Amino acid sequence: MDFYDVVGHVVELLQRQKRVSYRALKRQFSIDDDYIEDLKEELLYAHPVVDDEGRGLIWTGETEATPVTPSQPIQPQPQPVVEQAQSIQATLPPTEPHTPDAERRQLTILFTDLVGSTKLSGQLDAEDYREVVRAYQTTCSEVIERFDCHIAQTLGDGLLIYSGYPVAHENDAERAIRVGLGILDAIQTLNERLDQEKGIRLAVRVGIHTGPVVVGEIGAGTRQCVLETTLALVDKTGERYYEAELHRLKGQLLLQQSPDNHTEAESCFHQAISIAQNQSAKSWELRAATSLARLWQSQYKREESRELLSEIYHWFTEGHDTADLIDAKTLLDELA
């Protein structure tokens, strides 16, 4: 098939299924990342589709009905076997390799995201901001692939990464640490280019936790299942240093799955704040308060958001050039 044959098949797939992931398209049509980028640009420009935060495409137009007109029966021309196979394959829904329903794994979870992305989006026009985020995600992906880890989910400009699932190694915790350090190094290299081209520099933050979990392919709930099991591990082992951050991440995942989960997500953020306060862990408290304040901001609770975040922000008397405090200050400025 030539390029526009693939475009046509993808459009048909989107009209039928309403959405499709980039990974499924690569598997379905045996195409690489560069081809995906060309395909994406053509579809976004010429068809009613939107990009779903770098994960895939969503069809926003109407489903086209095929007009039926009376005509003489036409005998189908025989197709070469290869073309028939491609045509049949293009009509089938994308499939993923089968994995067991659930299994016990030693899993290391790593989360990384951009600091001050809201402020950055206001400094750049939409196209430039999209280009910068894509460059950041590509830079992170190259490091992640180098250590054979797995991007479980994209959370806006954040990445949730697994080391130990679906592929396990003897040194998965070490690999995750190397990924985190590698991302920090790679972002410095990226910043040299961004500073020259756009006059900006990116800051990222990284959090890591490890332990035995039960995981399996159970749809959108897989990531939440991993966090739930990790939280259960916290209760079992008493290793509670990351407990507040895990509850905060659970809230973030709930919001990513659906905005309708805002009540449960808010409860997670409150729990994260309470745990951090009991531990006198001001950095974790700041992160959780920032997440809750951002949720309240989206609900037009500006006064509550500002009051919550201002109290913990002004506790800090130094380190205001660190990633989390910059992010909190940016949100406070928006709420002012």
Asked if the structure places residue 246 within a domain, the reply is yes
Q: What is the pLDDT along the chain (336 residues), one digit of tens a residue?
A: 678 888 888 888 888 777 888 888 887 777 888 888 888 888 887 888 877 767 788 877 665 443 434 444 444 444 444 444 444 344 444 444 444 455 667 788 888 888 877 778 778 887 888 899 899 999 999 999 999 999 877 766 778 888 988 888 889 999 999 999 999 999 999 999 999 999 999 999 888 877 776 555 444 455 556 666 566 655 555 556 668 888 888 888 788 778 888 999 999 999 999 999 998 888 889 999 999 999 999 999 999 999 999 999 999 988 787 778 888 999 999 998
Asked if the structure places residue 180 within a domain, the reply is yes
Give the residue carrying structure tokens 């010429």: 46
Distance CA 111, CA 210 (A): 12
Q: CA neighbours within 13 Å on the CB side: how many for 138?
A: 11
Q: What is the CATH number of the domain that holds 156?
A: 3.30.70.1230
Q: Verify that 212 and 276 share a domain, yes or no.
A: no
Q: Verify that 177 and 112 share a domain, yes or no.
A: yes
Structural domain total, the chain: 3
DSSP per-residue letters across 171-209: THHHHHHHHHHHHHHHHHHHHHHHHHHHS----EEEEEE
Asked if the structure places residue 335 within a domain, the reply is yes
Q: Which domain does 33 fall in, by range?
A: 1-61
Asked if the structure places residue 11 within a domain, the reply is yes
Distance CA 244, CA 230 (A): 12
Identify the pLDDT of residue 315: 94
Q: Verify that 186 and 127 share a domain, yes or no.
A: yes
Q: Verify that 145 and 193 share a domain, yes or no.
A: yes
Identify the pLDDT of residue 90: 44
Strand partners, 155: 158
Q: Which residues contact 70 (CB under 8 A, 6 or more apart)?
A: none
DSSP state of 261: G
Taking alpha carbons only, the member of 125, 143, 103, 74 closest to residue 133 is 125
Q: Verify that 20 and 50 share a domain, yes or no.
A: yes
Q: Could you tell me the pTM of the whole model?
A: 0.45
Q: What is the CATH number of the domain that holds 50?
A: 1.10.10.10
Give the residue carrying structure tokens 């899993």: 107
Q: What is the CATH number of the domain that holds 268?
A: 1.25.40.10
Handedness of CA 210, 214, 217, 223 (dihedral sign): negative
Asked if the structure places residue 232 within a domain, the reply is no
Q: Verify that 148 and 209 share a domain, yes or no.
A: yes
Q: Verify that 213 and 306 share a domain, yes or no.
A: no
Asked if the structure places residue 67 within a domain, the reply is no
Identify the pLDDT of residue 32: 85
Identify the pLDDT of residue 299: 92
Asked if the structure places residue 225 within a domain, the reply is no
Identify the pLDDT of residue 69: 40
Asked if the structure places residue 120 within a domain, the reply is yes
Give the residue carrying structure tokens 């910068």: 132
Whether 212 contacts 232, CB under 8 Å: no
Identify the pLDDT of residue 281: 85
Q: Verify that 251 and 208 share a domain, yes or no.
A: no
Identify the pLDDT of residue 29: 79
